[in-house]
Amino acid sequence: MKTKLLVRVAAAALTLTAYSAAHAAAPKPTAAEAIAFVTKAEADLAKANSYAAKAAWVRATYITEDTQWLEAKAGAEQNELATGLAMQAARYNGVKLDPVNRRKLELLKRSLVLPAPIRPGAADRLATLASKLDSTYSTGKFTYQGKALTLNDAEKILASSRDPNELKAVWEGWRTISPPMKADYAELVSMANEGSRSLGYQDTGALWRSGYDMDPKAFAQETDRLWKQVEPFYKNLHCYVRGRLNDRYGAAVQPRAGAIRADLLGNMWAQEWGHIYDVVAPKTQGSSYSLDHLLVSRGYDPIKMVKTGEGFYSSIGMAALPQTFWERSQITRPRDREVVCHASAWDLDDRSDIRIKMCTQVTAEDFVTVHHELGHNYYQRAYQDQPFLFKGGANDGFHEAIGDFAALSVLTPTYLKQIGLLETVPGAEEDIPFLLKTAMDKIAFLPFGLLVDKWRWEVFSGEVKPEGYNDAWWALVKQYQGLVPPSARPADAFDPGAKYHVPGNTPYMRYFLARIYQFQFHRAACQQVGVTGPLHRCSIYGDQKIGKKFNAMMEMGQSKPWPEALEAFTGQRQTDASAMTEYFKPLDAWLTEQNRGETCGW
C-alpha cells in the first residue's frame, strides 16, 4: 500500500464559503489566469505536503489521543485546502489550455478521496471521523481463551490452525471490533458524498472511478471485462480447493458442492489462500523447499529481509535507498506503543524522505510484501522531478503493480538460487506445486480485489443503506468469491469494517488492477530480456537494461494518461489479463483434470 498525502496550507487558502461568494459572479477566466492558478496551487501544495505527511506518520507509528488530534487537525486543513482548489479548478473547465496545464487541472479536481462538504466545520468533522475509524481498526483487540488478541495474533492462528472450531471463533472474534464503526462510517459516507457533489460528481464512487482517464461508467465496465478474462480460472481453482477442504474436514464442515466456508482459507478475509497450501498440495507432486523455512534457516531477520529487497532493485540498476530510509522507517512492531501495522510505503517530502511502515516477520509472505512496499518507494523516487501534480502513479493500479511485478521474479526458484537461498533450481516436476502456491495468492485474490469497491460504489450511490451494509457485503462475497460465513452473522455486524481499507478509506480497485498489470509487465519484461521458457521461471534479477526501461516508465509519474505509460514499457495500450492466464496455463489444465466429476461453481 502506498501512502501519499495532499497538503495543508491554511493561511494560503480561502475558506470554502468565502470561495463560493468570491467566485459566484466572476467573469469568464482566461488561459493566463488558469495557468497562474495551477502554478500557485502546485507551489502551495508542495510547500505544505511534508507537514500533513509527518502528522499522519506520527499518528500511524505512535497512536495516542494527542497524535490522533494532530493528524485530524492537519487532515482537516489539508482537506479544506484541497477541496477549495478542486472547486477552483472546476472554474476553468471551459478555458482552452495546453495539454499539461489541462491535465493538472483535471488531476486537481479528482485528487480527493474524501472531499469535505462546503460548510463551516465540515472539514474538521470529516477528518475526525477518518482518523477515528483508522485508529479504531488499528487498535482493535478481542478476547479469545482469556487472552486479548491483536489482528496479527489472529492472523497467525488462521494461517496455522486446522481446527475448524478455533478458526470460526477467531474469525468471528476479529469481527467484533467493527460494529462500533458503523455509525461513524455511515456519517463519513454521507459527508463525502456531499463534498463529491459539490465538485460535480454524482457521488464519491463516481469521483473514485474518474481517476482512470476514462468515463466512470466505462471504467466500471472495464473492470467487469477484466474479471471475465480470469473468472473461469478462479472457478477452476475454487472447485479444486473446495474438494480438498471437504477431504480434510468432511461435509459437516465443508460440503463437497456450493460455496466455501470463509474461515477455512487461512486468511482473515479469504483474499489469499496460500497459508492452507498444506491442505490442498498435490498428493503425487511435491515441493522440495519452503521459502518460510529457507529464510529462517539462513538467518534472515527483518532488516535482512528489507536489505534483500533493496538488493533486487539495485541489481536492475536503481540507486541504493537513502540512509534516512533506514533511520526513519518502522520495520518491526515497537513493543512500547500502539501502531498501525498494516504495511505501507511513504513519501514524506516528495523528494528523498521515503520510508516503509511494517511489523515485519520472517515469513515468505512478508518477504514478498517487503519487495512490494519498496516498489512504491522506488516509484516515488523515480518521479520526484515531476511537477507536484504529476508526482503519482500513472494510475493507482500502477503504483501497486510495481512491487508485485518485482515479486514475480522474487518468487521464482531461479531468483532464490541467484541470491543464495537455494542451491539448485528444481526441475519441471515441481512446476505444478509452484504454480498452485502462487495461484493460491494471486488468483484467489482477484474477486476480493474487485468486490471491496463494488460494495463501496453501491454504498456511495445510495443503492445500499446502512441497515443493509452487511447483507450487501456478503451477497457480493458469495457472488464473486463463492464464500459464505461460518455461521449466521449478528444483526449489528459490520464485516466490511473488519478489512483495513474500508475504515482506512483506501480505494481498493487499485489492487485488482495491480494483479493484472504485474503479469502484463512481467511478460513484457521477460520477452524483452529474451527469456523463451515459461513465464513462471523468468527472473529479471540483474538485468539493468530492463531496469532502465522500467524506470523510464516510472519517471513519467502521472504526467501522461496511463495507456501511454503502459505502452512505453509493454507496447500495449489496453489492460490485458491474458498474460496472467498464460502464466498459469499449465496449472489450469492440471486443475481441470483434477476436477473431473466435481460439481464446480456455487
Mean pLDDT of 65-69: 92
Spatial neighbors of 285 by CB under 8 A, at least 6 apart, are 429, 430, 432, 433
| Residue 4 in this model has a pLDDT that exceeds 60 | no
Mean pLDDT of 229-247: 98
Interval 182-206: pLDDT, tens: 999 999 999 999 999 988 899 999 9
Interval 137-166: pLDDT, tens: 999 999 999 999 999 899 999 999 999 999
| Residue 321 in this model has a pLDDT that exceeds 60 | yes
Mean pLDDT of 552-575: 96
Where does the pLDDT of residue 286 fall: very low under 50, low under 70, confident under 90, or very high at 90 and above?
confident
| Residue 512 in this model has a pLDDT that exceeds 60 | yes
Q: Phi then psi for 209, rounded to 5 degrees?
A: -70, -15
Mean pLDDT of 561-589: 96
| Separation of alpha carbons 539 and 174, rounded Å | 38
Mean pLDDT of the chain: 92
Spatial neighbors of 522 by CB under 8 A, at least 6 apart, are 405, 408, 409, 535, 538, 579, 583
Where does the pLDDT of residue 577 fall: very low under 50, low under 70, confident under 90, or very high at 90 and above?
very high
The cell numbers describing 65, all together, are 489521543
322: which DSSP letter?
P
330: which DSSP letter?
B
Active site residue 373: yes
| Residue 20 in this model has a pLDDT that exceeds 60 | no
Mean pLDDT of 262-276: 97
Q: What is the pLDDT of residue 26?
A: 63
Mean pLDDT of 18-36: 71
| Residue 537 in this model has a pLDDT that exceeds 90 | yes
| Residue 6 in this model has a pLDDT that exceeds 70 | no
Q: What is the pLDDT of residue 81?
A: 80
Q: What is the pLDDT of residue 2?
A: 58
Q: What is the pLDDT of residue 77?
A: 81
Interval 428-439: pLDDT, tens: 889 999 999 999
| Residue 12 in this model has a pLDDT that exceeds 60 | no
81 or 578: which carries more pLDDT confidence? 578
Where does the pLDDT of residue 229 fall: very low under 50, low under 70, confident under 90, or very high at 90 and above?
very high
Spatial neighbors of 471 by CB under 8 A, at least 6 apart, are none
| Residue 22 in this model has a pLDDT that exceeds 50 | no
The partner residues of 354 in beta bridges, in order of sequence, read 347
Where does the pLDDT of residue 400 fall: very low under 50, low under 70, confident under 90, or very high at 90 and above?
confident
Mean pLDDT of 225-240: 97
Q: Which of 194, 373, 400, 458 is catalytic?
A: 373
Whether the full predicted model's pTM is greater than 0.95, yes or no, is no
Cell 505502452 -> residue: 567
Q: Which of 376, 399, 501, 522 is catalytic?
A: 501
Active site residue 293: no
The cell numbers describing 22, all together, are 468570491
Indicate the domain borders of the chain.
Answer: 2-135, 152-182+218-288+437-498, 291-436+513-594
| Residue 329 in this model has a pLDDT that exceeds 50 | yes
The answer to which of 281-290, 326-335, 579-588 has the lowest mean pLDDT is 281-290
Whether 213 and 395 have beta carbons less than 8 Å apart is answered as yes
Q: What is the pLDDT of residue 470?
A: 98
DSSP for 56-75, written as a single string:
HHHHHHS--HHHHHHHHHHH
| Residue 405 in this model has a pLDDT that exceeds 50 | yes
- Taking Cα atoms as reference points, which of 567, 530, 557 lies closest to residue 545? 530
CB neighbour class for 129 (10 Å; exposed up to 12, middle 13-18, buried from 19): buried
Q: What is the pLDDT of residue 18?
A: 41
| Separation of alpha carbons 51 and 32, rounded Å | 30
Q: What is the pLDDT of residue 9?
A: 27
| Residue 259 in this model has a pLDDT that exceeds 80 | yes
| Residue 505 in this model has a pLDDT that exceeds 60 | yes
Q: What is the pLDDT of residue 11?
A: 26
Where does the pLDDT of residue 28 fall: very low under 50, low under 70, confident under 90, or very high at 90 and above?
confident
Mean pLDDT of 254-259: 97
